[in-house]
Amino acid sequence: MDLAFAPQDEAFRAEARAWLEAHVPAVPLPSLETEEGFAAHRAWEAELAADRWSVVNWPAAYGGRDAGLLRWLVFEEEYYAAGAPGRVGQNGISLLAPTLFDHGTEEQRARVLPPMARGEVIWAQAWSEPEAGSDLASLRSKAVRAPGGWRLSGQKTWSSRAAFADRAFGLFRSESRAPKPHQGLTYLMFDLRAPGVTVRPIARLDGKPAFAELFLDEVFVPDEDVIGEPGQGWRVAMATAGNERGLMLRSPGRFLAGADRLFRLWRAEGSPQDTEDRVADALIGARAYQLFTYAAASRFLDGALLGPESSLNKVFWSEYDIALSETALDLLGAQGEAADTDWSQRYVFALAGPIYAGTNEIQRDIIAERLLGLPKGRR
Amino acid sequence: MRFLLDAEQRAFADSLDAMLTAADTPSVVRDWSRGEQASGRALWSRIAEAGVFALAVPEVYEGLGRRPVELAVAFVELGRHAVPGPLVETVTAAALLTEPGPAKRLLPALASGEAMATVAPSGSYALDGDAATTRLALTSDGLRLAPGHGPVRRCLDPARRLTPLTPGGELLVPHPPVAHALTTARLTTAAQALGVGLALLDRTVAYVKQRSQFGVPIGSFQAVKHRLADAKIALEFARPLVFGAALSMSPAEVAAAKVAACEAAYATARTALQLHGAIGYTAEYDLSLWLTKARALRSAWGSPRECRNVVVSARDRRW
Ligand SMILES: Cc1cc2nc3c(=O)[nH]c(=O)nc-3n(C[C@H](O)[C@H](O)[C@H](O)COP(=O)(O)OP(=O)(O)OC[C@H]3O[C@@H](n4cnc5c(N)ncnc54)[C@H](O)[C@@H]3O)c2cc1C
């Protein structure tokens, strides 16, 4: 058991740090949830990609560095420590790409992944529907066979950044008479600007307009944009849903950097006694999450699969993020009320953590039933 | 970087677990709480034979070398089985005895299990001073061998016997490595607390699967499941802190591990009691042995507040 990185990994860390030092914008970019921020972040994705830092763990053929899981973690630590911008390409990179690596065709990978890595095509996730939230399998949007492809109809909602994104991936009901709700679903990619697609932005709690609902009216999708086998969409989608909850969506680097910023804020405010315990807990929690992730990564590198353990991560980081930003707001006092500070923006975004990527109630059910072996009850 | 116990460390945990399961520790705990030490001493010898105390003693003094990771592995198991006695105090005593003279005189017996040590700053209680054969007092002028102990005071964990030490006695070491010893005490307490929490969770999961109300196992109720899921999360995130701290032995990391493990164990104790209902509130039922220990370990060797203060003030915090 050890925590020392190999010299090559340390060299990688140093290289990443040097690059970030030279390239991270001195003035923070506008929020990626706005139109101008979206464009600025797209340009940042391209800058990362130009030196192959946008997807370090991908194969070189698609724009990565074959860096592996540990170096990806190292990169993320450096990335957030450097105060680099949020990743507008995240949905595609952390959700669609792993699915394509596991279930896509070689043609799909070659066509979809390089422009994703360069930020030329930004992806939105179109899973949720008005009547299908936690009970996602009850979704109703349809995919109907058409010559050479499928026609999609229905409504998707709560799609992050879909107002400005280029394409989306989602689940559709392709067999109306399947015996169970999660059967007969097909996983497809589609163009957000295709004829028949209407995108309606929905302002979030923070007023940012990038969230959207999608109305689909006979939208044509060619066969080449089906991921995996038609009818097998649930299995394909769930195989990588763990990524969303687990480390790929929220790497420890983000929380280590956040805890460090909180600690510095606390010191700058004169180390007030009444928040000492909460600041300590923020530091302890960040370290715990980092070490937990190192242990999970070590198991993964030994050949274990990342299973329902990712539900532990999800609940932990989402609650941690709220506690962290609440503490910062309490420290800032009246100043914390201002909506345009980093901390208040982080706080409002953190509030959504226990809801998206599968609510924490659903994650606790998974932990209880699949990790502790408790009997299934009424849903 | 490979942050996982290796096969040998896992085998060590498994063999301790098997030995302690066979030893019927609950009845040993009950004897110990009444001041009957025979079964506790017999168990102590077997723990020593397994090499646990030797992991705190350098090879020149007949130990296995100081090996904090293996020590943490062992203390998780000792906590899981609610083993009574001055376990943390014995390895802490070993950490204080670095001066060759006293080390040569006292350490071999600690490593072999022949001696049982307790240690406390003068004026505060030493754990199990009535059972310990080596009683160490940390005084303003150094480390002293206390000549005896005062009356036993009951602790809310009946298995922890609180004893003041008699003042005076031989001055063993004028400048003992107090900081290092405190780090050892906190690390092993954290590991023990983690074990206590894991045992509480296991027992409660087993109970809620088997106890039925309203015609179904109570473990199928979501309110019950969610409390257990939270306990699982807290314990699983404390575990890597304990082993990370054992690797570095940095005071800040150890303090962080103690906060996380003790808070997780304590929260799990509250959940365990609640989900057992009235039977959990009885002294007869074995769950009580872990419930009270979770509370006591929280304050032992540095309260959560003191440890959090170490985390924010530490110069050696590297994260
Ligand atoms: C900021 C944000 C971004 C999002 N981005 C996307 C995106 O990009 N793409 C996308 O497809 N979706 C996205 N979502 C949607 C998200 O996945 C859903 O909100 C989530 O799955 C919950 O569904 P719901 O909102 O319909 O809540 P519901 O399912 O209606 O749940 C409401 C409440 O009831 C509880 N509940 C429901 N069922 C149970 C049960 N069985 N046991 C206990 N409690 C239960 C829930 O936990 C919750 O507290 C996003 C959501 C947010 C807030």
Share of chain B above pLDDT 70, in %: 100
Chain position carrying tokens 């980081």? A317
- Identify the pLDDT of residue B239: 98
Residue-wise pLDDT for B117-144, tens only, equals: 999 998 899 999 999 999 999 999 999 9
Question: What is the token pair recorded at A176?
Answer: 């109306």
CA-only gyration radius of chain B, Å: 19
The letter for the amino acid at B87 is L
Q: What is the mean pLDDT of residues A81-99?
A: 95
Choose among A284, A288, A374: nearest Cβ to B219: A374
Give the gap in angstroms from C-alpha A279 to the nearest C-alpha of chain B: 7
Residue-wise pLDDT for B29-50, tens only, equals: 999 999 999 999 999 999 999 9
| B93 φ, ψ (degrees, to nearest 5) | -60, -40
SS3 B52: coil
- Identify the pLDDT of residue B110: 98
Q: What is the mean pLDDT of residues B195-204?
A: 98
Choose among A2, A315, A365: nearest Cβ to B222: A365
- Identify the pLDDT of residue A244: 66
Share of chain B above pLDDT 90, in %: 98
| A232 φ, ψ (degrees, to nearest 5) | -105, 15
Enter the DSSP assignment of B237.
H
Residue-wise pLDDT for B205-226, tens only, equals: 999 999 999 999 999 999 999 9
CA-only gyration radius of chain A, Å: 21
Would the pLDDT of A259 be above 80?
yes
> pTM for the whole thing?
0.97
- Identify the pLDDT of residue A225: 98
Question: pLDDT-based confidence at A207, cuts 50/70/90?
Answer: confident
Interface with A, mutate which of B204, B306, B319 (most A CBs under 10 A):
B319
Q: What is the mean pLDDT of residues B52-66?
A: 98
Q: What is the mean pLDDT of residues B158-166?
A: 96
Give me the total of CB pairs closer than 8 Å, taking one residue from chain A and one from chain B: 150
Residue-wise pLDDT for A261-310, tens only, equals: 999 999 999 999 999 999 999 999 999 999 999 999 999 899 888 788 99
Residues constituting chain B:
319
CB contact under 8 A, A1 and B6: yes
Residue B301 CB contacts under 8 Å (≥ 6 apart), including other chains: B88, B92, B182, B185, B186, B189, B258
CB contact under 8 A, A288 and B240: yes
SS3 A67: coil
Question: What is the token pair recorded at B33?
Answer: 């709480």
Interface with B, mutate which of A269, A374, A376, A378 (most B CBs under 10 A):
A374
Q: Is B157:B293 a contact under the CB 8 Å cutoff?
A: yes
Q: What is the mean pLDDT of residues A149-163?
A: 97
- Identify the pLDDT of residue A269: 96
**What is this model's ipTM?**
0.97
Distance CA A221, CA A171 (A): 13
B294-B296-B300-B302 Cα dihedral, nearest 10 degrees: 70
From first CA to last CA, the distance across chain A in angstroms is: 41
The letter for the amino acid at A377 is G
Residue B248 CB contacts under 8 Å (≥ 6 apart), including other chains: A3, B318
- Identify the pLDDT of residue B78: 98
As for ligand 1, residues whose beta carbon falls within 6 Å of it are A 125-128, 133-134, 158-160, 352, 355-356, 358-359, 361-362, 379; B 222
Question: pLDDT-based confidence at A379, cuts 50/70/90?
Answer: low
Would the pLDDT of A206 be above 70?
yes
Share of chain A above pLDDT 70, in %: 98
**pLDDT averaged over chain B?**
97
